[in-house]
Every structure is written in C-alpha cells, then in structure tokens.
C-alpha cells in the first residue's frame, strides 16, 4: 500500500516537471527555438529498514534559456548564366536567389545587390568561364511575398527553416550589349532584428529576440552569429557576420538574321521567259541565322507584293498556295510544308493584286548559324 502511494507521488512529480518543460515552439531542423527555457528535474527513491520512503524531487531547476543562433544561406536558383537579349528587362532579365533562415529565431533580412566592376569577378557557374564585363543600365531587387514579387530591399520576416525567393532584375540590359557579354551580380543578405534594429556587433553578444511582428519574445539572451563563410576571398561575406552572399550572372545572347528575296525566271503564256502580263514568277524569301548565340523563334515572314502582281492560287502540290522550307544546320534536315489557304501558319493570303503574303515559321527555331526558314509563292504579272 505504501509503495503504491510513493510511486504515485513520483509519477505526479514527473508529470509536473514535464508540463513545466513544455514549450509552445517545437524543435526544428534549425534547432530548439530561441527563448526556450530548459530545466532539469532529478528525483530520488530509497528505503530505510526495508520500508520504501516518499520520493524526493528537485523540481524543475538549474534552468537556462536557449539563445539565438543566427545563421542563413543565400544561394542562386540559377544553374547556369541567365541568357538575355539586348534590351531585355524585368522578368525577362531576372537572376533568382534563395535566402534561407538556418537560425532558431525569426529574422529580417536587408537585401542588396553587389555590382562588380569589369574584370573583378568571374563566372560562378562551373564549367562556364567568363569574366564580368558589363553592368545593366539599372537593376532592382524583388522579393516573392507569396502573392507575387514585390519591389523591396528587405525580407520583412522569415521564421526558422523558411526560405524566401529574391530576384535581381535588370532594367534593362542595354541594347548596345554584344553577344557573350557577361554581368555578375551578387545578392547580399544581412540579418537584422524584425523591429529593424541591428543584431549584435561582432560574432556574438547579448540581445533581445523578436517575433515576426517585431515584438520582444525574450530579452538579454545570447545572440551568436554562426554563419560560416564558404566563399573564401569574397569581400562582401565574412565568417560569423550574420550575412551571406551568392552570385549569379547574365549572359547576353544576340542573334543575327539575314533576309533575302529572289525571283525565279518568268514563265510566259507562250512557253517563253518574258516578263509580260500573264507571265508567272516564283518568289523565294529566306530568313537565315548568321551570327550570335541566341535562338530566334516565332519568325514570321511578310511580303506585300507590288500592285502589278497578284499571288497565284494552287501553285504547289495538293492545291496549296505557299511552300515553306526549313533547314536545320545541326541535323542537316530539310522540311518542306505546303500551306493551303486557311492553314494557321498561312497568316495572310489573297489572290488580289498587291496582296500581302504572311507566313509563320511555326515552332521552328533558328538556333544555329546556317539555319533558315524560307517561303516560296508564285505571282502573276497583271
């Protein structure tokens, strides 16, 4: 009977200890939340003269408070230089980064773009090698707030283990940039308190811990910068400074296209080759790629014939109006398509004098020098 009571007493004490130790914030990958109090409870049971005595406990004691371990990771989501065309801006010329809170307290991050002077830094993407040689005309920093990107210079608050996506957008890449021009940008994130105040100066100190709303959670605890610099000589990022940096880069890719138009030998009504009313002439218009590193897609060829000419119907096999020929220099593949009036790629067509012929090259991409898209159609001299 006595023993039973003792065990109940011990159980009750253990239960009290457990409740006192409960924290509203659970342990996360970033570690036990800052401001969590941890105590210890020791108990002893014994007997005297073979009689079990009441258990004794220290209660929760020797309590200490977990401090703030400040750590973050900045990385780029880009796996290769972001290719941009001269004149590109906004979302068409965006470098993407991620900022992750590896610490155990909610933090705010001040963001800045690090612009490198010509020749001062090289490609962050192995094995692609290039040296920074230009800057965008201007740039802006955007943060994904969860409901779209917002133009801002800070991540207002980020809880432990959370990641925010940030973009540096060129505004714009100058039209004068040449093929293979290369611009490196670093995203620098500095940890600050959610009330806007600075963290400790130096690698550690004593300070307050704040929640997402900027209210104090606990005061006078240890704040330790635990971020380890992994990029060595990078001057904008040091060991245990609460800041981190990652680089990405723009690679300018231009494309040079050449357009040529030629006419075939006239075929007159008398079996000859005189350019006289009633004679038929075949026109060939070719768009070919001859320089640059970019891919030209969505090529549309438009030609308004002279008022003395009228396009000829049913000039090609299968009663079609226009013949389109694409050539892929990489695979040396020639594809011929006969387009009939009404076909989606034959965007404009009429047999009236002075009509406009407009043909889309469809999904064909002019991605190598020598690639071309050409159209053929016939006209009759009025």
Partner 1 sequence: MNRILAMAVTAGLLVPALAGAQQKAAIDLRTLSQVEVTTTNAKGEKEMKRVEAARANVTPGDMVIFTTSYSSNVKKPAENVAITNPVPEHMVYVDRSAEGAGTRIEFSIDGGKTYSAPEKLIVTVGPGKTRPALAADYTHIKWTLTKPLQPGGKGSVSFRAKVK
Binding-site member from 54, 216, 263, 290 for partner 1 (CB under 8 A): 54
Choose between 67 and 172: whose C-beta lies nearer to partner 1.
Answer: 67
Binding-site member from 40, 176, 291, 334 for partner 1 (CB under 8 A): 40
User: Cα(334)–Cα(378) distance, rounded to whole angstroms?
Assistant: 21
Interaction between residue 18 and partner 1 (CB under 8 A): yes
Q: Give min distance, CB of 253 to partner 1, in A.
A: 46
Interaction between residue 276 and partner 1 (CB under 8 A): no
Interaction between residue 222 and partner 1 (CB under 8 A): yes
Binding-site member from 21, 130, 217, 350 for partner 1 (CB under 8 A): 21
User: Cα(17)–Cα(58) distance, rounded to whole angstroms?
Assistant: 10
Q: Which of residues 102-161 bind partner 1 (CB under 8 A)?
A: 104
Choose between 209 and 299: whose C-beta lies nearer to partner 1.
Answer: 209
**Full DSSP string of 260-316:** EEEE---B-TTSS----TT-EEEEEEEEEEEEESS-B-S-EEEEEPPTTEEEPTT-B
Q: Give min distance, CB of 111 to partner 1, in A.
A: 25
Choose between 62 and 198: whose C-beta lies nearer to partner 1.
Answer: 62
Interaction between residue 38 and partner 1 (CB under 8 A): yes
Which is nearest to 177 in space by CA: 89, 246, 115?
A: 89
The stretch among 64-72, 121-129, 194-202, 325-333 that binds partner 1 (CB under 8 A) is 64-72
Which is nearest to 324 in space by CA: 372, 265, 256?
A: 372
Which is nearest to 261 in space by CA: 220, 219, 306, 198?
A: 306
Interaction between residue 47 and partner 1 (CB under 8 A): yes
Contact 42, 58 (CB under 8 A): yes
Alpha carbon separation from 229 to 71, 234, 262, 326, 379 (Å, rounded): 11, 9, 63, 52, 70
User: Cα(74)–Cα(109) distance, rounded to whole angstroms?
Assistant: 11
Choose between 63 and 120: whose C-beta lies nearer to partner 1.
Answer: 63
User: Cα(75)–Cα(96) distance, rounded to whole angstroms?
Assistant: 9
The stretch among 53-61, 166-174, 315-323, 371-379 that binds partner 1 (CB under 8 A) is 53-61
Choose between 38 and 213: whose C-beta lies nearer to partner 1.
Answer: 38
Binding-site member from 22, 151, 233, 363 for partner 1 (CB under 8 A): 22
User: Cα(366)–Cα(120) distance, rounded to whole angstroms?
Assistant: 34
Contact 285, 260 (CB under 8 A): yes
The stretch among 22-30, 182-190, 310-318, 353-361 that binds partner 1 (CB under 8 A) is 22-30
Choose between 67 and 81: whose C-beta lies nearer to partner 1.
Answer: 67
Residues sharing a CB contact under 8 Å with residue 327, sequence separation 6 or more, in sequence order: 333, 334, 335, 370, 371, 372, 373, 374
The stretch among 39-47, 115-123, 260-268, 353-361 that binds partner 1 (CB under 8 A) is 39-47
Output the six-digit token pair for 372.
């071309």
Residue numbers of the site for partner 1 (CB under 8 A)?
1-2, 5, 14, 17-18, 21-23, 27, 30-32, 34, 36, 38-54, 56-69, 104, 204, 222, 224, 226
């Amino acid at each position: 009977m006595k023993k039973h009571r003792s065990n109940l007493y011990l159980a009750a004490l253990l239960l009290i200890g457990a409740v006192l130790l409960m924290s509203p914030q659970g342990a996360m990958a970033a570690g036990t939340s800052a401001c969590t109090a941890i105590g210890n409870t020791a108990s002893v049971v014994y007997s005297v003269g073979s009689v079990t005595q009441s258990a004794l406990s220290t209660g929760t004691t020797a309590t200490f408070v977990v401090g703030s371990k400040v750590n973050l990771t900045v990385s780029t989501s880009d796996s290769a230089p972001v290719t941009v065309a001269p004149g590109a801006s906004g979302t068409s010329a965006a470098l993407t980064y991620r900022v992750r809170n590896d610490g155990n307290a909610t933090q705010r991050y001040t963001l800045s773009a690090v612009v490198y002077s010509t020749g001062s830094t090289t490609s962050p993407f192995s094995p692609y090698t290039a040296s920074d040689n230009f800057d965008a005309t201007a740039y802006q920093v955007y943060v994904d707030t969860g409901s779209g990107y917002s133009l801002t210079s800070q991540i207002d608050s980020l809880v432990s283990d959370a990641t925010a996506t940030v973009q540096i957008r060129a505004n714009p890449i100058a039209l004068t940039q040449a093929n293979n021009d290369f611009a490196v940008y670093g995203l620098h994130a500095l940890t600050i308190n959610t009330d806007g105040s600075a963290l400790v100066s130096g690698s550690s100190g004593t300070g307050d811990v704040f929640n997402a709303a900027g209210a104090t959670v606990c005061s006078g605890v240890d704040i330790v910068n635990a971020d380890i610099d992994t990029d060595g000589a990078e001057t904008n990022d040091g060991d245990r400074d609460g800041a981190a940096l990652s680089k990405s880069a723009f690679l300018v890719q231009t494309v040079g296209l050449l357009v040529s138009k030629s006419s075939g030998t006239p075929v007159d009504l008398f079996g000859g080759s005189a350019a006289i009313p009633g004679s038929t002439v075949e026109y060939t218009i070719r768009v070919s790629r001859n320089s640059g590193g970019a891919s030209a897609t969505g090529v549309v060829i438009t030609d308004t014939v002279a008022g003395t000419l009228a396009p000829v119907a049913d000039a090609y096999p299968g009663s079609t109006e226009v013949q389109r020929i694409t050539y892929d220099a990489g695979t040396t593949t020639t594809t011929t398509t006969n387009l009939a009036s009404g076909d989606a790629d034959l965007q404009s067509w009429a047999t009236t004098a002075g009509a406009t012929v407009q043909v889309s090259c469809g999904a064909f991409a002019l991605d190598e020098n020598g690639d071309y898209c050409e159209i053929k159609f016939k006209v009759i001299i009025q």
